[in-house]
A = this chain, B = another copy of it.
């Protein structure tokens, strides 16, 4: 099994996995976990589809309904986390991110690229999380006004690889992504 001795190669390997998450619909990197705080004091995690990743600009992008509960959390605190666990490669990727929310006209060009079948995710009536009487007491009316883009600006990446030996490292944007090895 692969082992890592050079920090830069370890980070390259992780970004290669993230890129596959966008390209390969079956990759577990396609569905990372997005974590916010301020949910009545408890942290809250949910699986989201990775919509875009860009190593050059240190960005990960997700899409969500503007009226979803994660939006309320992000209004209170834009600091969030992203977590990937890739069972086959035995690699964990953790990120600290600051989330920039885009809604309204800024999202028009992205909305054009959302397939009709996916647009139903934006515009559920009543809003996501509202109590309803029966399981299917809701409608889905696609609405560009409900479409929100979450641009996650990556500040920190921590990697853990469970190979024959465990290796762990931390990389920070404030250190120009020069990493440090950590005891696993």
Residues of A within 8 A of B (CB): 3-5, 10, 28, 31, 33, 35-37, 39-47, 77, 79-81, 83, 85, 87, 92, 94, 96, 124-138, 156, 165, 167-169, 180-184
Contact = CB atoms under 8 A, between A and B. Distances in A.
9 contacts: A37-B43, A41-B77, A42-B156, A45-B81, A46-B92, A125-B183, A128-B168, A135-B165, A136-B167
A41 B79 contact: yes
A5 B45 CA distance: 25
B183 A127 contact: yes
7 tightest A-B contacts by CB? A45-B83, A47-B85, A42-B96, A43-B43, A135-B167, A35-B43, A138-B183
A184 B138 contact: yes
